[in-house]
Amino acid sequence: MPAESDRRLVVTERRSPTPMLGVAVVEDLVDAIVSGRLEPGTLLPPEGPLSEQFGVSRTVIRESVKRVEEKGLVTIARGRGTQVRPTSSWNMLDRTVLTSLIKHDDSLGVLDELSVIRAQLESVMAAEAARVRDADQLARLDAALRRMRETVDDQTAFRHADIEFHEVVMATSGNRLAESIARILMERALESWRYHGVDTADAFALTLSEHAAIHAAITEQDAVRAQDAMNGHIVESWRRRRLPDHAGKPTA
């Protein structure tokens, strides 16, 4: 029979005397599971102890645990308690789950996987964009690349222009499912300092050159070249800025 977890494993350092909202309870439970403090097979404490720890009612705990179950992290069985499920059952595209996965990704394994999947999705969309783009879509891509060139010496503005370029390519492809998944991956990754890593001195110049190659392939409607250029850009840009495993946050 699975062992019940030590109740102290559940609540993070965010605890305060103020009652926590349900969303915060969900985030703490997800974080406890994703971080490994609550291992697969472990039983969550009963509603009573959890209610006392989080400073909320049993109703809030009950609803919060249901939300965690919907994310695939636990299974609720009447008479047997709430058991943590293996990682293969987790919905890793869920915002809270993916954010926590990246947060605890000291080895950068999750970000490595994310970059590979993002490269695959966006390269397919770049190929389709090359096939189907029209004059208006090409004009938007022209404008996005132009903004990258104009802001290459402004780190913040350049990154915004970079994101805009990718968004135009994805929208042009017309593949709504691939775009939705790629956006989720990119948005969650961009929230993490680990994903930003450390830029080399020539990082922006290389990035601009890679985007220009993608732009040229789409302009010339060369789907194969567009796919290769996008895949190479995402893989190589991650390789350039990737921190060593278990590295701490870079100082400014």
pLDDT beyond 70 at 210: yes
DSSP string covering 41-107: TPBPPPHHHHHHHHTS-HHHHHHHHHHHHHTTSEEEETTTEEEEPPGGGS-TTSHHHHHHHHHT-TT
Q: Are 241 and 196 a contacting pair, CB within 8 Å?
A: yes
Superfamily of domain 105-241: GntR ligand-binding domain-like (1.20.120.530)
CA angle centred on 97, ends 207 and 36, rounded to 5°: 110
Average pLDDT, the chain: 91
Report the 10 Å Cβ neighbour count for 25. Answer: 26
pLDDT beyond 60 at 6: no
Look at residue 11 in the predicted model and tell me its pLDDT.
55
Report CA torsion sign: 45, 51, 57, 61: negative
Confidence of residue 199 (pLDDT cuts 50, 70, 90): confident
Look at residue 3 in the predicted model and tell me its pLDDT.
58
Confidence of residue 18 (pLDDT cuts 50, 70, 90): very low
pLDDT beyond 80 at 250: no
Confidence of residue 19 (pLDDT cuts 50, 70, 90): very low
Residues, the chain, total? 252
User: pTM of the full predicted structure?
Assistant: 0.84
Cβ neighbors of 7 (< 8 A, separation 6 or more) are 45, 49, 50, 53
Q: Are 7 and 45 a contacting pair, CB within 8 Å?
A: yes
CATH 1.10.10.10 fits 7-89, yes or no: yes
- pLDDT tens digits along 142-152: 999 999 999 99
Look at residue 117 in the predicted model and tell me its pLDDT.
97
Tell me the domain boundaries of the chain.
Answer: 7-89, 105-241
Q: Using a pLDDT cut of 90, give the percent of the chain over it.
A: 81
Worst-scoring range by mean pLDDT, 3-17, 35-49, 62-76, 208-222? 3-17
**Half-sphere exposure at residue 194, Cβ-oriented, CA atoms within 13 angstroms:** 23
